[in-house]
Amino acid sequence: MHTILTVLDEDILIAKLTEGDQAAFKDVFESYKDKVYNTSLSLLRNARDAEDITQDVFVEIFLSVKHFRGKSKLSTWIYRITVSKALDLIRKNKRKKRFAFITSLFGEKGELVTDPPDFVHPGVTAENEELSAVLFNAISKLPQSQKIAFTLCKTEGLSYEEIADIMTVSVSSVESLMFRAKQNLRITLADYYKEIK
């Protein structure tokens, strides 16, 4: 299990990464691969896409670490790259959907497909799968900035200060995003609970 890096450890690690030290890169990969994958998975709701983004993030780290100026923590920089790449893929997928043939809107039996299949995060226990699918579906419908803030806070357990650094906004903006995200989720989930009563 990896411990939290001190500022001195991080400075040494970044220096080694900049020199192309393979052991340092492997240490960063082992320390952050699960965080990068989980964040990507929560934002994208697709395991294959999350794996691709994870790979892309570490390629980016390897190629860009020489330009890392240390103005933020290494973890903040890595989360920023992750969120940026996940959002790029979301935008790319939206463009693809716009130009897709009309037949792609229909399933095998000709039924109209409006929602993606239920998504279940791999960290969720079997007895909580249905509720998890409903929750992740509700999260996916949040406005983009609310979705990012909520995911980083609730999935990754980051503080508002860390989220503010990653999103390059103020802490009060994060507080506002979280407040609105929770309000929106309450409304969406209230509708769900009405349906099952």
- Burial 161-180, CB ≥16 within 10 A → b, else e: ebbbbbbeeeeebbeebbeb
Collapsing DSSP to helix, strand or coil, 115 comes out as coil
pLDDT digits (tens, 9 = 90+) for 134-146: 788 888 889 999 9
pLDDT digits (tens, 9 = 90+) for 12-52: 888 888 888 888 899 999 999 999 999 999 899 889 999 99
Residue spans of beta strands (DSSP E) within 52-123: none
Q: Kindly list the structural domains of the chain, giving each domain's residue range(s) and its CATH number in brackets, ordered by start.
A: 1-101 (1.10.1740.10), 119-197 (1.10.10.10)
Distance CA(67)–CA(64), nearest Å, equals 5
Q: What pTM was estimated for this model as a whole?
A: 0.71
